[in-house]
Structure 1
Amino acid sequence: MAQKKKIDPARKLVAENRKARFNYEIQDTVEAGIVLQGTEVKALRNGEANIAESYVSEEGGEIWLINSYIPEYLEANRFNHEPRRRRKLLLHKREMAKLAQAADREGMTLVPLKLYFNDRGRAKLEVAIGKGKKLHDKRETEKKRDWNRQKARLIREHG
C-alpha cells in the first residue's frame, strides 16, 4: 500500500511579513494566487524570499505585488528571472473590487502577510487590508505583549 508523502507544515511557509501586524491594524485577509515563472517557484521551494518591504497595489483593474524579493535560482543560468519584478496576483473579481475599494478609503493599505504553498503545492499570498497604527497604538501593543510574557513567566515559576 502506497503511503502519501507528508509535507512538513513549517516547510510550507516561505516568507512572512512579521512587522505588518505591529505596524498595521489588520481588518480582513484574502488568499491570492501569484503569477510566477518556473525559476521563481524553484527559488521559493528553496525557502528564500522576502516580502517585508513589499506592498500590494491596484493598477488598471488588476492587483500587483510590488517590491517583493525572490532571489535568482542559481541552476537556471541565463533563463533566470528578475528578483524584484512586479508580480500579478490572481483573485476573483469580487475580491479585487473589495480590495480596491478598501485601498481607496482613507488610511487603508493592502499589506502582504505570508507567502506559502497550499496543500496542492500552489504558491499563495495572504493579503490583508490594514490601517496604519499611530505611535501610541504601537506602544500599547508592545506593553500588552510584555505583560503577557511576564504573566506567562510568573505562571510557569509559581505553577
Structure 2
Amino acid sequence: MAEVESFQLDHTKVLAPYIRLIDAEVGFHGDIISNFDVRFVQPNQNVIGMAALHTIEHSMASLIRDRIDGMIDFSPFGCQTGFHMIMWGEHNPEEIAKVIKSSLEEIASDAFDWPQVPGVAEKECGNYKNHSVFGAKEWAKKILSEGISSDPYERKVI
C-alpha cells in the first residue's frame, strides 16, 4: 500500500490549533497545488461535533474564497480535528493562518447566523439537518482564544 503522509505525522507531537503545509505538488502541466493541514483541536484529546464541524465546513468554504483566490477545497478530517485545505499555487502557512483566523472571526461574530451559512437547504446538502450555528460559533471562539499557529510543533501564533 502507498504511504499516506498524514498517517506518518506523529499526532502526539503537534500543538493545535495550527496550519501546516503538507506538500506543494507540481502537476503534469506545471500547475502547483498546495495541501494544508488546518488543525483546530488537539488530536486524540478533543473532537469537533459533527453538526458544528459541518457548519464550519459550509461557512469556511465561502468565507475563505472571499479572502483569498485559488481555494480548491476545504474538507473535514474524518477524525473531526480539522480540515484539509487544497489551494492552487504556492502559499505559506502564515498567509493561510491569517485567512483562517479572519474567517473564524466572522463565524464567531454576533452578526453571524443562519442566513450567512451557505448550502444548508435539502436541495443543497446531503445531510442538511446536521448543522449547528451555535456549535460552529462556540468552536470558532474556542479556536481563536487558543490562537492559530503557523507551525505545528512550536506555538507561533499569528
TM exceeding 0.5: no
- Structure with larger Rg: 1
Provide the TM-score with structure 1 as the length reference: 0.30
Q: Greater share of strand residues, 1 or 2? A: 1
- TM-score scaled by length of structure 2: 0.30
